[in-house]
Structure 1
Amino acid sequence: MVDVKLLGLWYSPASHKVEWALKLKGVKYEFIEENLQNKSPLLLESNPIHKKIPILIHNGKPICESMIILEYIDEIFEGPFILPKDPYDRALARFWAKFLDDKVGAVVNTFFHKGEEQEKSKEEVYEMLKILDNELKGKKFFVGDKFGYADMAANFVGYWLGVFQEASGVVLVTSEKFSNFCAWRDEYINCSQVKEYLPPRNDLLAFVEARSQASASKA
């Protein structure tokens, strides 16, 4: 009997972070695709405060917020460690994970908003990219020599950002401006620990293009 359920969306980077962790640990789980326009009673009951995905349900108990879920999975299930065991490295991983998680909204706003709000978001994203470009110089992973917590948090900038750029025509990242980031990104999305856990790019691109067109028609 399956005692682990994941409520999520196939195109959500937050959902994929959790799936990543479960697969890394070898945990069998049931994935339940949600519809955010018609949220299920299970979603609303499991996350009554924020009413959003992903939600992990383990033995009937819900855990919310993707980065919190990752730490729960790391603590409760056997298998490769997601967070580093060294306290300093663990603190660094949490720092970069929070930094990356906090910037998702600005990136999304850059592609789906116009005018002043878009320009403000662009400035924030450029500052983020400058910081990452400096941090990632010559690095394979964010912390230490093993793939882990911060690298899972980086899936949005490592993969989804490029898809959003292609779908919208709004270009934020070029190798001329951010050479270290681009070198890291190319290595990141092609390494075996990442590639097998990402949604098919063509499917994701088609979805984001449709969403971009719908957003443009409402502007």
Structure 2
Amino acid sequence: MYSNRGELQEVAKKEFIKCLKLLEGVLGDEPFFGGKTFGFLDITFIGYSAWFKTYETYGNFSIENECPKLISWVDRCMKKESVAKSLHPPDEVLKYAQMVMKVYGLNRGFGKGIDA
């Protein structure tokens, strides 16, 4: 169906962005998914935000450009001490992903600047 990994990666990236936009639509103009208060959906989803930098690096795109309201939500959540203390910094998550990719020889053909 797809002629190369680059084409498959583009399809996956578009599908991922589509999912993020769906979440952004659910968030709407509210500060949190539960409205004005930080709730269960926020708790469930905020952990994935630590991986956003990794997704952007390997997918060669910007979540902020695609879903600015979602990034604003991440910023609001990170102002909560309990959230900020419980998540790994995105740079550390990226380094971990780079190490795993290198160990398994998967760096070639993904994003830019991955071979660090």
Which range, TM-score by smaller chain? 0.5 to 0.7
1:1-219 matches, within 5 Å, as: 114-166=5-57, 168=58, 170-175=60-65, 177-213=66-102, 214-217=105-108
The count of corresponding residues between Structure 1 and Structure 2 is 104
User: Higher RCO, 1 or 2 (CA under 8 Å, sep at least 6)?
Assistant: 2
Report percent identity of matched pairs.
Answer: 23
Where structure 2 has 5 or more consecutive residues not aligned to the other structure, the ranges are: 111-116
Consecutive unaligned residues of structure 1, counting only runs of 5 or more, are: 1-113
Q: Partners of 2:109 and 2:54 in 1: how far apart?
A: 21
Say whether the 8 Å CA contact 2:32–2:42 is kept in structure 1.
yes
Contact 1:158 1:189 in 2 (8 A): no
What TM-score, normalized to structure 1? 0.39
Considering only CA atoms, is the larger Rg found in Structure 1 or Structure 2?
Answer: 1
The one-character-per-residue Cα deviations of 1:99-137 (angstroms, maximum 9, x if unpaired) are xxxxxxxxxxxxxxx334322212211211222222223
Counterpart amino acid of residue 33 in structure 2: F
Query: TM (normalized to structure 2)?
Result: 0.66
**Cα distance between partner residues in 2 of 1:125 and 1:174:** 14
Structure 1's consecutive aligned runs of 4 or more residues displaced over 6 angstroms after TM superposition are none
Report the AA paired with residue 10 of structure 2.
E
| Kept in 1: contact 2:50–2:88 (CA 8 A) | no
3-state SS of paired residue (1:216): coil
Name the structure with the higher strand share: 1
Conservation of the 8 A alpha-carbon contact between 1:158 and 1:185? yes
* Cα distance change, pair 119–218 in 1 and its aligned pair in 2 (3 A): closer
Q: Which amino acid aligns with 1:174?
A: E
Alpha carbon RMSD of aligned pairs, Å?
A: 2.8
